[in-house]
Chains A and B, each alone.
Chain A
Amino acid sequence: MNDTRSPLQTIVIYLGALLILVWSGGPFLWQFSTSFQLDKALTSGSPSLIPAPLTLEHYYNAFVEKQLHRYVWNSLVVSLATTFLCLFVGSLAAFALSRLNVKGRFGILMVILSVSMFPQIALVGPLYLVATNLGLLDTYTALIITYLALGLPLVTWVLFGYFETLPREIDEAARMDGVSIPGLLWHIILPMSLPSLVTTGLLAFITAWNEFLFALAFTSNIDRQTIPVGIANFTNLYYVPWGDIAAASAVVTVPLIVLVLFFQRHIVEGLTQGGIKE
């Protein structure tokens, strides 16, 4: 198709591509650069993308003064637990819906998907009361249980879509050999679904890692607060510490970006399947 393009079209396409690149990468690049600049340089009135002189002061402040590592630890515990639970519960449900001829399975799938459209603010009040009554405020458990339900619709939907692409002849053969139903899932379907498990796991992880509303409502001290709550509370008495915030942003975002770039192809495929295709 290249040969049918006029020079003007080519210019428009490359210009557009450049714009998209700047749009997507620019703001974070600036944030990243900010994290290495002295406060003096940031307020000097002549901003520069290259930090000169380069300083690690903001990283020191983020970890030593604001104890960022404690939020990171809380987030890791909650997000990893959520990821594994989501994959476990989600794969059981997706397997049942895909392989056990459940009646009305598309109805069930639609209900599961529509749950993810509920406004979370409508859930947080009643759940807060439940958590209070059960003594679950300021616990990892409350967050993990909530995030499981938040991640589950997408995980189930995407895994279901993937299971559907696996040929049914394989189940037939396995069943002939006397493999039980849980055996079919554990020994045959799951090992074949590794790429999809990785993608959905990553989606569940990101959901939990980035969640703010429930973490804000359910936790009140640094022992259990997750990163978003920690960063939201990053303020000094007299001024906003933009440099420290930038450093913390870089610490919590860079690993996520690396993971996402590594698995990018699968993510878009997985999500399109979950959100758009009928």
Chain B
Amino acid sequence: MTAAATVSGIGRPRLGKALPGAVWALLLLTPAFVSLASVSFYPIINGLYLSFTNTSLITQENEFSGFSNYVQLWGDAQFWNAWWHTMWFTTASTILETVIGLGMALILCEAFKGRGLVRAAMLVPWAMPTVVTSKMFGWLFDGQNGIINYILLHAGLIDQNVNWYGSPDTAMTTIIIADVWKTTPFMALLLLTGLQTVPNSLIEAARMDGAKGWITFWYIRLPLLMPTLLIAGLFRALDAFRVFDLVYVLTGGGPADSTETLSTLSYKVLFSTLQFGYGSAVSTAMFVTEGIIALAFCLYLIRQIRRAQ
């Protein structure tokens, strides 16, 4: 790689016996490169190759089969079903998390008693293993004895127990709620650090001129926060797009495939049917979709930043 291409200043002649800096740089970067190359880059390329073969661990075949996997994928209703679910999940959870996160950040921006405690509590959902979150929501939203049903029933918001993740109508919503619960507080903490870089003098000046709270928010804080908001949104969207643990543990993609996402579908094709060729085509299609999302976001971000200047 280019890592060791040029190094200057460090390899002084006085230390003639020691290795020159360029060699050191290469040496120190090698372990990281080897690790990432073998565990991230190699599998991506190998997966791309596998997607053009009929590799199966059952029939023990692994011959080149051209685009046949992709042709099959194009006509595969299950794939498109999972694709739409994933897009819906990504869009809904990213928007909710960004908007609610912004609301939380605006509150945390103010000084109040017990702010440290609230901020600390917000790390709890983030630190918890996703599998635990998934099981926890399984219990909270349980169709029979779940506390959520109990509360809603007693508040008069529903007249009978809702079978949250056991019914195709509400299962995806339950998963979105669980994801929003887990990731919003952290999103808020990220946005808070962004908000705190907005100079107070600007807001004070606007207040002096008689601007109301929401005007200072809309015309000063929000535009200045935009880059942070978009980048945080991008990271969140890419992460939401890969959702696996939450779905796999809570519903396993069911009921009636109503929560099947691209990750759970790939996993099933790979490890239940052991069709590594076709499974790789699914995951490659997913990688491509994710790349397009990232690209679209980046282009939008660049335009926003240009316009702000």
In the complex, the answer to whether B249 meets A232 with C-beta atoms within 8 Å is: yes
Chain B residues with CB below 8 A from A264, complex form: 119-120, 123
Interface of chain B, helix or strand or loop or mixed?
A: helix
Do residues B36 and A152 form an inter-chain contact, with CB atoms below 8 A? yes
A148 adjacent to B35 (CB under 8 Å):
yes
Closest-by-CB residue of B relative to A111 is: B36
CA distance A178 to B147 in the complex (A): 67
Identify the 7 closest CB pairs spanning chains A and B, nearest first.
A149-B39, A93-B32, A126-B43, A96-B28, A126-B46, A210-B129, A228-B131
Nearest Cβ in chain A — how far from B128, in angstroms?
5
Chain A 236-278: CB-based contact to B (< 8 A → 1; otherwise 0): 0000101001100100110011011100100111011001101
Cβ–Cβ < 8 Å partners of A181 in chain B? 10, 18-19, 21, 24
Distance (Å) between the CB of A19 and the closest chain B CB? 9
0/1 string, A108-137, CB within 8 A of B gives 1:
100010010111111111111110000000
- A117: chain B residues within 8 A (beta carbon): 238, 290, 294
Partner of B131, one of A103, A104, A212: A212
> Is B139 interfacial (CB 8 A cutoff)?
yes
A45 touches B145 (CB 8 A): yes
The interface residues of chain B lying within 8 Å CB-to-CB of A234 are 135
Chain B count of residues within 8 A CB distance of the other chain: 109
Q: Is the CB of B29 within 8 A of A93?
A: yes
Interface string of A1-28 (1 = CB under 8 A from B): 1101000010001101100110111011
A interface residues, how many (CB within 8 angstroms) = 102
Known A-B contacts A125-B283, A276-B194; the reply to A27 vs B36 at CB < 8 A is no
Q: Which of B63-71, B91-99, B265-273 contacts A (4 or more CB under 8 A)?
A: B265-273
A119 touches B142 (CB 8 A): no
Instruction: Return B301 CB to nearest CB of chain A, in Å.
Output: 10
Residues of chain B within 8 A (CB-CB) of A249 are 132, 135-136
Q: Which residues of chain B are near A107, meaning CB under 8 Å?
A: 2
Contact B190 A272 (CB under 8 A): yes
Contact check, A276 vs B190: say whether CB atoms are below 8 A apart: yes
Q: Which residues of B contact A259 (CB under 8 A)?
A: 127
Residues of A within 8 A of B25 (CB): 96, 100-102
B118 located at the interface, meaning its Cβ lies under 8 Å from any Cβ of chain A in the complex: yes
**Which one of A95, A212, A272 contacts B245 once the chains associate, using CB atoms below 8 Å?**
A212
Picked from B21, B130, B290, the residue with its CB within 8 Å of the CB of A210 is: B130
